[in-house]
Structures are given as structure tokens and as C-alpha cells.
Amino acid sequence: MPSVYPEKLLRQLERGRIDGAYKPNRFDERVSKNMFLSWQDLQQHHLQELNHSKSVQQKRDYLSKCLMLDARYPSLGEGDGATVANAQAVIRREVFLDLAVQTLTFCRRAAFTPLKTSTFFSIINTLHIAAAEMAGPPMPLEKAYDLVENLLLCHGVERPPFSKSIFTHNDVTMGVQHIIATYLRHLKHYQYVFASFDELALKATGTTARTVDHKVQPLDSATSCTPLAEEKEGLLEDDEQPGAAEEPGEEAGVDLDAILTTPEERAMFERALRKELAHLQEDMALKMAEQQQLFEQRLGKLEGGAKGSAKGSGRK
């Protein structure tokens, strides 16, 4: 049995129930002031009204009103994305009402007094808030069971001021068995239905985009041997520098007019140039013929494979 209560409960609870409208993300002020859960959610006149209810649906409607479930599980109205949220809120209200009616049915079958019924109902409600509705990671099953033991022992042992004897030993045993067989057995389902989901909206901006300006030069300027404007500026700067000299190994421009001074030399140069161009044309023609032959061979293989598959399909 814990030595001090409700420190463990207050560490685990991040939202609670207070008088008036339901306000999430706050500790239960009544629990912080009074560690006992008697008459927290259901008062004696609530239980009397529930006993006089003629149908289960009438009980559900009254519980939804006195527990302020419409404020606890609100609808978002109309708009984009509101349809799914509204359906989820309706499902949560209906599931919690099933849990509430089931708890009251157990208390009636166990012949609990109004004080015991109100206390046990608040224990179930507190467990549900801590284990399923609390923001953050879901509570493990072991911690949920420890919380059940703390809550029942706090109200089942006469040890003031830490605990108060509201339940007998038999009541605590039946309560633990009921909670294990009903709520803790389906804890993952409750956590799935009542878990809060945070939507992360990502928006792409152009701040991280990088624009590349690729300037394509005209074909005549690209194939021309004349330098571009930027290159001309660089050449002028290098030439204008005092003491600038040609580095060894640099290729200088060749002036054919200065070399070929006679008509015979020009004729010899043209014949040699035509011969080299003819050799280049022959090499290019041979390479093109080889590529054409390889292409025709591959095409023949593909056509032969297609005909074979067509014949096979026809046989079938």
C-alpha cells in the first residue's frame, strides 16, 4: 500500500473534472484538495434519478447531461475536416456511456450503497482519464493496474488521513476482478478510441529552392574560335599587367599565310588535308556500319523472341 496518496495519481493525471464546464489539461481541483473520490462525479440525487429511469436510453441521456459529456467531447461544427472529428466525438461519448452504464450495473448487482456506487464510479472515471484520455504516451497496463490498486486501497482501508474505509475486503476483491475483466482487458481499445492526435501541417516555401540560370550560347559563338566578352576582358587584363609573359608549354596561334608563302606549298597542304579528311570519313563510315549491324542483330533477336511467345500462346 502506498504511504502517501494522491502523489502518484497527481503525477499521472494531466486533465481532470471540475465543477462547471469541462476544462481539459488541468488537474482535478477537488482531488488536489481532497484525496477521496466520494461524490465527485455522481451526487446522491443523481443516483436517485438514475434509479427511477425506466430505460437504458433514459439513463444514458441523463448521464450525458449530468457528466457534461457534450463539453467533454465537443463537436467542431461544420467545415473542412469537421466531419471526421464530429464522428469521433460521437463515438467517444457513446463508448464512455457504455462504460458508465456497465459500471452502474455492476454496482447494482454488487448491492453497493449510494456512497460506494459514487466512489466506485469516480474510480473508474479517474482510471479512464489517466489511462486513455491523458495527453502523451499511452499508459502501460502495469501502471494502470497499479493505479487501480492505489485507488481501491485508498478507499478500502481505514488509515486516516491517507485512506478511508468505504469498501470492505469483499468489495475491493470484486472491484478489482470487475476492472480487470472489463476495463483493463480492453485497455488498448479504449486508448485507441480516446487517444488525442496532433496533426502536423507542412508547407513548402521557395526559400530553400535554388534557381540555376543556365545561359546557352548561340551555336555560331559556341563553335567560333573567337573568345567571348568575359574571356576578352580576362585576356586584356592579363595582357595589360606589366611583366606578363607566356608560360612555357602554351600553344600559340599558327598563321598559315606566313608559313605557306608559295602556291606549291599551298597545294601540298590542301592535298594532305583532303587525304586526312578522307581517312576520317572512312573511319566514321566503318563505325556507323558496325553500329548498324549490331542494331539489326538485336532487333532480329527481339522479333524472334516475340514470334516465339506468340506461337506458344497460340498453342495453349
The answer to whether the bond into 161 is cis (omega within 30° of 0) is yes
Is-above-0.85 flag for pTM?
A: no
Handedness of CA 163, 167, 173, 176 (dihedral sign): negative
- 39 Cβ neighbours under 8 A, 6+ residues apart: 115, 118
3-state secondary structure of 83: helix
pLDDT in tens, 37-58: 888 889 999 999 999 988 999 9
pLDDT in tens, 186-226: 999 999 998 876 556 666 665 555 555 555 555 555 555 55
Handedness of CA 120, 125, 126, 131 (dihedral sign): positive
- 38 Cβ neighbours under 8 A, 6+ residues apart: 115, 118, 119, 122, 155, 166
Count, residues in the chain: 316
- DSSP 8-state code for residue 132: I
